[in-house]
C-alpha cells in the first residue's frame, strides 16, 4: 500500500538551491552569449561604416586629383604654368576658399585667412595642383600639422566660350552675350543644337538651370586673370552681366598693381575691352577641421567659394607628397616641393596618410574592439597620376 505521506512530500531546500543555481548559471550563460553576439554585431557594423566612409572619401579625393588640369586648362595656361592672382600686399593677400553663401558663416581653411602659397615667387599663383604642406590643423601633436591640397580643372558643363565677353567700367563686371551664330570656340555636348533647349545654358543659376553661375564660382579669363562671381543678372535677350565684387577670398582686387585683375585680362586693358576665352574653374580644396557641432576631426571639401561640405568624420591625419618632373628627371614623393620647382611640374600625387578612427572612443567600445579582434582605425596610402599634367610634362609635343 502506497504511503500517502511520502507521496505528497515536496522538494527539499537543498534541491531548490541546486535547481536555482543551475538555472542562474544557464541564464548567465545565455546573457553572456547574447551580450557577446550584440557586441560582435556592433563591431561588425563599426567596421562596415568605417570602411564605407573610408572608401567614399578616398574615391572622391582620387577623382578630383586625377582630374586636375583637365578640360580647357591646358590651353588656358594651367596645364604648364600658373596664373597669377591679384595681390595688394600682405593685408589683402588672396586666401584659400571661404564660403560666399550669405546665410553661411565663413568657413576658412584652418579657421583663419590662410594665404595661398607663393611657391617661392610673388604674387601667389593658381596651379592645377596646389600643395600646402603643414597648412592644416593639428589633430595629434605627435604627428604635427596636416596638409591642405587644392585641385583645379575646367567645368565642361558650362561652355562660357560660346559667349562673347566685354569688360565693364572699373573691371568689376563682364557682360556675356550669346552671338546669333555658333562660333568656332563654342563646343556643345554631343547631340546639342545651338540656340535650342537652353544650349548653351544661360548663365543664371536656378533649379531649372543647374549649370548657371552662382555666387562664389571662379572664372579663369585667358591665361592671366581669375575672378570670383558675386552676382549674375539678365541684361536682355541672351545677355548676362556678371559682377565680380568684394569676395571673402580676396581674389577680386581690381586696384592691385600686380597681375590677375580682369582689366589686365581685357584687350585693350580698359573698360569696353573684349575678354579672352573664359572657363569656369572647379577649384576643390581638401582640408581637416573640427566643427563645434560634433567636436570630431572631419575631412572637408570646398568647391570654389561655395559652402564647405563634410566628406567623412574622424579623419585624424592627412598628408600628401608629389612626384616632380624636372629636366627629364622624376623625383618621387616630395613634400614640400624641392627648390627650383613649381606645382606645374607635378605628375603624381601620393596620399601618404588619410587616417580614420572609429567614431566611439569610450572604454566599452575600445574593449569590445580589442576583445573581438576589431580595429579602431584605417590608413589610406595610394598614388594617383595627374593625367593631364603627366601628358603635358612627359610628352610636351602632344596636345590634350
Angstrom distance (rounded) from CA 175 to CA 242 = 6
200 is written with which cell numbers?
548653351
Q: Is residue 194 part of a domain?
A: yes
| Residue 317 reports pLDDT greater than 90 | yes
pLDDT band at 379 (very low <50, low <70, confident <90, very high): confident
Most confident segment among 52-61, 101-110, 140-149: 140-149
Angstrom distance (rounded) from CA 25 to CA 318 = 50
Q: Which of 338, 288, 332 is nearest to 313 (CA)?
A: 288
Q: Is residue 27 part of a domain?
A: no
241 CB neighbour count, 10 Å cutoff: 18
| Structural domains counted in the chain | 1
Q: Is residue 53 part of a domain?
A: no
| Residue 370 reports pLDDT greater than 70 | no
What does the pLDDT read at residue 199?
Answer: 87
Give me the half-sphere count of Cα atoms (radius 13 Å) on the Cβ side of residue 286.
Answer: 26
- Residues 386, 131 contacting (CB under 8 angstroms): no
What does the pLDDT read at residue 359?
Answer: 59
- Percent of the chain with pLDDT strictly greater than 90: 20
Angstrom distance (rounded) from CA 141 to CA 307 = 29
pLDDT in tens, 267-276: 655 566 777 7
pTM score of the predicted model: 0.81
Q: What is the mean pLDDT of the chain?
A: 80
User: Which tops the pLDDT comparison, 327 or 4?
Assistant: 327
Q: Is residue 38 part of a domain?
A: no
Angstrom distance (rounded) from CA 59 to CA 130 = 19
Q: Where are the alpha helices (DSSP H) in 194-276?
A: 262-265
Q: Is residue 26 part of a domain?
A: no
Q: Is residue 71 part of a domain?
A: yes
Q: Beta strand 129-132 with 148-154: parallel, antiparallel or unpaired?
A: antiparallel
First to last CA, the chain: 110
136 is written with which cell numbers?
592644416
User: Which tops the pLDDT comparison, 48 or 203?
Assistant: 203
Q: Residue 192: give the domain boundaries.
A: 58-394
Q: Is residue 218 part of a domain?
A: yes
pLDDT in tens, 27-40: 888 888 877 777 77
pLDDT in tens, 186-242: 888 888 888 888 888 889 998 888 889 998 899 988 877 888 999 999 998 889 999
What does the pLDDT read at residue 393?
Answer: 52
Q: Is residue 175 part of a domain?
A: yes
Indicate the range of 91-95, 206-210, 335-339 predicted with least confidence. 91-95
DSSP type of residue 359: S
What does the pLDDT read at residue 18?
Answer: 83
Amino acid at each position: 500500500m502506497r504511503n500517502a505521506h511520502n507521496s505528497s512530500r515536496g522538494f527539499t531546500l537543498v534541491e531548490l538551491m541546486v535547481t536555482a543555481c543551475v538555472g542562474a548559471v544557464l541564464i548567465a550563460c545565455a546573457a553572456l552569449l547574447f551580450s557577446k553576439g550584440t557586441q560582435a554585431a556592433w563591431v561588425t557594423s563599426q567596421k562596415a561604416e568605417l570602411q564605407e566612409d573610408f572608401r567614399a572619401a578616398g574615391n572622391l579625393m582620387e577623382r578630383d586629383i586625377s582630374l586636375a588640369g583637365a578640360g580647357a586648362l591646358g590651353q588656358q595656361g594651367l596645364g604648364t604654368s600658373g596664373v597669377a592672382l591679384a595681390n595688394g600686399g600682405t593685408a589683402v593677400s588672396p586666401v584659400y576658399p571661404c564660403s560666399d553663401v550669405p546665410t553661411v558663416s565663413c568657413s576658412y581653411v584652418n579657421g583663419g585667412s590662410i594665404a595661398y602659397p607663393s611657391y617661392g615667387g610673388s604674387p601667389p599663383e593658381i596651379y592645377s595642383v596646389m600643395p600646402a604642406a603643414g597648412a592644416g590643423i593639428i589633430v595629434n601633436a605627435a604627428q604635427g600639422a596636416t596638409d591642405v591640397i587644392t585641385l583645379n580643372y575646367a567645368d565642361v558643363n558650362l561652355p562660357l566660350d560660346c559667349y562673347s565677353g566685354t569688360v565693364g567700367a572699373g573691371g568689376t563686371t563682364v557682360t556675356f552675350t550669346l552671338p546669333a551664330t555658333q562660333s568656332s570656340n563654342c563646343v556643345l555636348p554631343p547631340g546639342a543644337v545651338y540656340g535650342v533647349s537652353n544650349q548653351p545654358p544661360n548663365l543664371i543659376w536656378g533649379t531649372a538651370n543647374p549649370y548657371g553661375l552662382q555666387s562664389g564660382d571662379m572664372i579663369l579669363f585667358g591665361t592671366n586673370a581669375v575672378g570670383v562671381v558675386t552676382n549674375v543678372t539678365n541684361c536682355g535677350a541672351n545677355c548676362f552681366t556678371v559682377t565680380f565684387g568684394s569676395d571673402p577670398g580676396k581674389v577680386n582686387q581690381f586696384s592691385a598693381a600686380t597681375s590677375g585683375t580682369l582689366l589686365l585680362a581685357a584687350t585693350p586693358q580698359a573698360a569696353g575691352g573684349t575678354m579672352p576665352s573664359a572657363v569656369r574653374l572647379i577649384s576643390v580644396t581638401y582640408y581637416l577641421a573640427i566643427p563645434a557641432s560634433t567636436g570630431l576631426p572631419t575631412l572637408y571639401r570646398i568647391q570654389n567659394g561655395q559652402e564647405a561640405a563634410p566628406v567623412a568624420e574622424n579623419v585624424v591625419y592627412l598628408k600628401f607628397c608629389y612626384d616632380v618632373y624636372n629636366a627629364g628627371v622624376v623625383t618621387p614623393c616630395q613634400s614640400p616641393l624641392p627648390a627650383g620647382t613649381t606645382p606645374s611640374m607635378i605628375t603624381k600625387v601620393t596620399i601618404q596618410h588619410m587616417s580614420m578612427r572609429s567614431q566611439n572612443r569610450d572604454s566599452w567600445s575600445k574593449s569590445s574592439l580589442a576583445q573581438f579582434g576589431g580595429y579602431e582605425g584605417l590608413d589610406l596610402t595610394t598614388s594617383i597620376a595627374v593625367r593631364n599634367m603627366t601628358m603635358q610634362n612627359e610628352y610636351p609635343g602632344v596636345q590634350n
